[in-house]
Structure 1
Amino acid sequence: MSSQKTWRIKPFLDRSCNSTLAFERFSRVTRVNQVARIEWTDAVYKMARSGRGLLTSFIANRRGIASLEFALIALPFFAILFAIFQIGIVYLADNLLETATEKAARQLLTGQVQNAGLTASQFTSAICPNLPVFFTCPSGVMVDLQDVSSFSSANLSAPTLTYDSNGKVTNNWQFQTGGAASILVLRVMYQFPVYLGPLGLNLANLSNGKRLLMSTAVFQVEPYNLQGAGN
């Protein structure tokens, strides 16, 4: 009877042992997975923390910041500087041309040119000493002198320049010195070289990429004594 009971209990004990072993194996695997998960979480946290540290260190690092800031503003800064310089040169040239035209008109106003019998080329050459050295004179200076019937008929607009195949101006300019009490219109013109600047700056108003500077004087010649004539 006793052996029979032992035989009946043994399968139960075997099943209990197998269950215990399986539970221990499952627990061991679970602990390994938990340890691996914890280690992986710590590694990710350390990597994130290290990344934040590098980013914070990069942002806080002020070395070379002046060079970086200058590199960002250098292009617009030099573009504006170039534009200011070129506009200043153009206005300076225009003002100097205006002054030279006034002095030349004064010689016509008082009859000095008429008495001297100057030709167009001689009159143009007489303007050159009053122009700065960066003007190509007399070859680059154009003079148009017209004798008109009244002040209202004076043409003050800029002419349309025409060119030959070599880029030389082909307009026919007049040189009418008139006499005492004549109403004269003097136009002195010059093709000033300009350059296309950054930010869309373009001061050219001619098809050849230059800017036409023109100074105009309208006046009535004063009474004057002809050279060699008696009073």
Structure 2
Amino acid sequence: MTTINQVSIRTKRPHRRMLKFFARCEDGATAVEFSFIAVPFFALIFAIFELAFIFFGTQMLETATADAAREILTGNQQKKDKEKKPDGTDKTPAEKFAAFKKSVCDPAPAGDSSMLSYLFDCNKIKYDISVFTGFNVGDDAMTAPTNFATFSGTYNPGCPGDTVVVRVMYPWNTSVINWPISALKTLTMNFSNMGDGTRLLMAVTAFRNEPYDARNAPPGCPTS
């Protein structure tokens, strides 16, 4: 004969067995553990990709700057500046500057554009071509202009024998840092070095102009 107490014990045992089953079960443990590290893990992966793009972009910028600067060093750029326009008039300083910019980054249609334009917005690149006294250019050549946002650039390719410093600067958009979830920003390396969250990429080259033909020199240079 089954008593009331025995029935009560039997009805409780399945619940106890179920609780023990869940306590011993490890199914899904890996997914739960990965959920704890997923955010910092992917943040690190994206940061590595971002850093790789920064290095790649810097290398491309330096290569394009060196190629364009060599045109100034040899006097070829100054010779092009001296050439007349189709209507027979002289080029304006703005047109000469625009031609140099195009030699660095040409925002032409696909197929005709420079390699730099595939990765950079040519309109955001800043240029500073200046003449220095000797090679003691100091730290100014490695720092961005204080008015970078409104800096329109300078173009002075120099006379034969002048010391010229060419700086090409670009505000690189650090996409990892600009994640919409602000809490995730603390999980990544901060690659930005500008107040607007971008990273300034800068290519600098200093050289002394070759003694090119003085007839191609800019106005104000010695003619002999």
1:110 shift after superposition: 1.2
- Cα distance, 1:78–1:144 mapped onto 2, change above 3 Å: same
- Cα distance, 1:130–1:217 mapped onto 2, change above 3 Å: farther
Query: Which residue in 2 is equivalent to 1:219?
Result: 207
SS of the residue aligned with 2:164? strand
Matched positions, count: 184
Query: Which residue in 2 is equivalent to 1:148?
Result: 132
SS of the residue aligned with 2:27? coil
User: Matches of residues 24-173 of structure 1 in structure 2 within 5 Å?
Assistant: 51=16, 53-117=17-81, 119-128=96-105, 129-137=114-122, 139-153=123-137, 155-162=140-147, 169-173=149-153
- Cα distance, 1:70–1:54 mapped onto 2, change above 3 Å: same
1:80, 1:176 → 2: CA distance? 43
1:140, 1:146 → 2: CA distance? 19
Greater Cα shift, 114-123 or 58-67: 58-67
SS of the residue aligned with 2:199? strand
1:48 shift after superposition: 9.4
1:203, 1:189 → 2: CA distance? 16
SS of the residue aligned with 1:103? helix
Greater Cα shift, 60-69 or 72-81: 60-69
- Cα distance, 1:172–1:68 mapped onto 2, change above 3 Å: closer
User: Matches of residues 177-192 of structure 1 in structure 2 within 5 Å?
Assistant: 177-192=157-172
Query: Which residue in 1 is equivalent to 2:84?
Result: none
1:191 shift after superposition: 1.0
More helix by share: 1
Q: Which amino acid aligns with 2:97?
A: A
Query: Which residue in 2 is equivalent to 1:176?
Result: 156
Q: Is the 8 A contact 1:144 1:175 kept in 2?
A: yes
Alpha carbon RMSD of aligned pairs, Å? 3.0
1:136 shift after superposition: 0.7
Structure 2 unmatched runs, 5+ = 82-94, 106-113, 217-224
1:55 shift after superposition: 5.0
Query: Which residue in 2 is equivalent to 1:16?
Result: none
SS of the residue aligned with 1:215? strand
Seq. identity, %: 29
- Cα distance, 1:134–1:74 mapped onto 2, change above 3 Å: same
Structure 1 unmatched runs, 5+ = 1-38, 164-168
Q: Which amino acid aligns with 2:98?
A: S
1:50 shift after superposition: 6.4
SS of the residue aligned with 1:152? coil
2:37, 2:13 → 1: CA distance? 35
1:65, 1:227 → 2: CA distance? 79
- Cα distance, 1:91–1:122 mapped onto 2, change above 3 Å: same
Query: Which residue in 2 is equivalent to 1:36?
Result: none
Q: Which amino acid aligns with 1:158?
A: T
